[in-house]
Amino acid sequence: MEQRELGRTGRKVSVVGLGTWQLGADWGDVSEAAARAVLEASAEEGVTFFDTADVYGDGRSEQHVGRFLAAHPGEGIVVATKMGRRAEQVPEHYVLDNFREWTDRSRRNLGVDRLDLVQLHCPPTAVVTDDATYDALDTLVEDGAIAAYGLSVETVDQALAAIARPHVASIQIILNAFRLKPLDAVLPAAAAAGVAIIARVPLASGLLSGRYDEHTTFGSDDHRNYNRDGSAFDVGETFSGVDYRDGVRAAREFSALVRDLDVTPAQAARTPSR
């Protein structure tokens, strides 16, 4: 698989990464064996970048990834985790003491002394634009708790503000065939600054796989069932904020467009990190 440098981390990773939210929670029941099988299959296909977060299953996703890392030492897997949603998302919680507590917990879950990449998990705009945020993150780097940091953001303006900071290594933002706005300004700015772009929700929660229709159902514990209106968390995390029936129709049209390209809809839809 093609490898690219992950922004200012200086690390080479596969252009296709594995998101591991589903291994922790909110996607229906995933057993320990199923989680391990997903991680094993990804690594066998050349994936060397795993994305997780401290709140995915209250740490369960990180623990799955940590057990995998312990069983596969020296394979060059780079793990990005996220922090900031273990408390109410208000500016006063984004301080060094909390950052230390959250990263220490992630290090324990992942079984590592230093985290490869930590991203603030959709923080408020006031946090994105505050000098103190980056001073605290720089301190974690200086202390050796983390190797690099970035931000997972919700808006183009937040992304551009973070990219302007000299030590931000990566930006994670929703980017797929339904959500193309970051292409206009965010990707050029990131490329110019040497900041990695990590595409969030690249298949619109599975819609762009072309496998769902109007009759597809999801479990009661699956966010594709209970968060369609954004009542549980950011609506953009579920089907990219697109109404499900509208999304099914659009995905059907997308699948028809790529039918003669000798690729699956999911392959056509992927938007790898750059």
**pLDDT tens figures, 115-143:** 999 999 999 999 999 999 999 999 999 99
Establish if 274 belongs to a structural domain.
Answer: no
Structural domain contains residue 180: yes
List 150's β-bridge partners, or say none: 119, 170
* Residue 76 falls inside a structural domain: yes
Say what the pLDDT of residue 103 is: 98
DSSP 86-99: SS---GGG-SHHHH
CA distances from 3 to 48, 49, 158, 274 (A): 9, 10, 27, 10
Instruction: Assess if residue 194 is contained within a domain.
Output: yes
Whether residue 32 is contained in a domain is answered as yes
Average pLDDT over residues 93-105: 98
Question: What pLDDT score does 274 carry?
Answer: 40
Does residue 215 belong to any structural domain of this protein?
A: yes
Inside any domain, residue 144: yes
Domain containing 104: what range? 3-269
Quote the CA–CA distance of 147 and 9 in Å, as a whole number.
7
- What pLDDT is stored for residue 261 in this prediction? 84
Q: What is the pLDDT of residues 208-229, one digit of tens each?
A: 999 999 999 998 889 999 999 8
Give the pTM.
0.92
What's the chain's average pLDDT?
Answer: 94
Question: 243 in a domain, yes or no?
Answer: yes
Over residues 13-37, mean pLDDT: 90
CATH value at residue 211:
3.20.20.100
Of residues 147, 149, 158, the one with CA closest to residue 123? 158
If you ran DSSP here, which 8-state letter would residue 12 be given?
E
C-alpha dist (Å) from residue 44 to 41, 133, 153, 209: 5, 38, 30, 21
Contact between 218 and 203 under an 8 Å Cβ cutoff? The reply is no
- Whether residue 151 contacts residue 195, with contact meaning beta carbons closer than 8 Å, is answered with no
Q: What is the mean pLDDT of residues 155-166?
A: 98
Confidence of residue 16 (pLDDT cuts 50, 70, 90): very high
- How many CB atoms are located within 10 Å of the residue 51 CB? 24
Residue 272 has pLDDT above 60, yes or no: no
Number of domains in the chain: 1
Rounded Cα distance between 261 and 259, Å, is: 6
